[in-house]
Amino acid sequence: MSRFDYERVAKIHPAGTILETDAYGVIRHVGIATGYGTVIHASRRYGQVLETSEKLFSRGKPIRTIPHGSKLSGSQLVVRARGKIGQRYGVLTRNCEHFVAWVISGQARSGQLGPLDLGRH
């Protein structure tokens, strides 16, 4: 038995897959799968973009995959996402949705914020 959470994942999501889980009530949390059992995401809890195990990302809640129409390959998406590791989190400007939207399209947007969206990356 491994001591690393990412080595105990039942299903490895392919690199570049968008993962979603419930965060707080109706609020969703999203991130980018690396293909190695880890997820890169903008975390309010840790105050930055970071790479964690799927278990830490989802906090034990079910994970769903979200389709996207990016022309970039999965590995290219992971490279873009890793380039943002360490970037500070901001609920109105740099939340998890802003981060994932930027990785996919180059435009930081957050549909959950609606008119409050001030996305900048």
Strands (E) located in 1-121:
18-24, 27-33, 38-43, 48-53, 64-66
- pTM of the predicted protein model: 0.85
Q: Range of 52's domain? A: 5-90
Question: What digits encode the pLDDT tens for the residues 50-88?
Answer: 999 999 999 989 999 999 989 999 999 999 999 999 999
> Average pLDDT in the 88-95 region?
88
Nearest CA-CA partner of 21 in 31, 11, 6? 31
> Average pLDDT in the 84-111 region?
88
Residue 121, in any domain of the structure: no
Residue 112, in any domain of the structure: no
Distance (Å, whole) CA 34 – CA 52:
10
User: What band does 11 get if pLDDT is binned at 50, 70 and 90?
Assistant: confident
User: What band does 17 get if pLDDT is binned at 50, 70 and 90?
Assistant: very high
**Would you list the DSSP string of 27-62?**
EEEEEEE-SSSEEEEEETTTTEEEEEEHHHHHTTS-
CATH number at residue 51: 3.90.1720.10
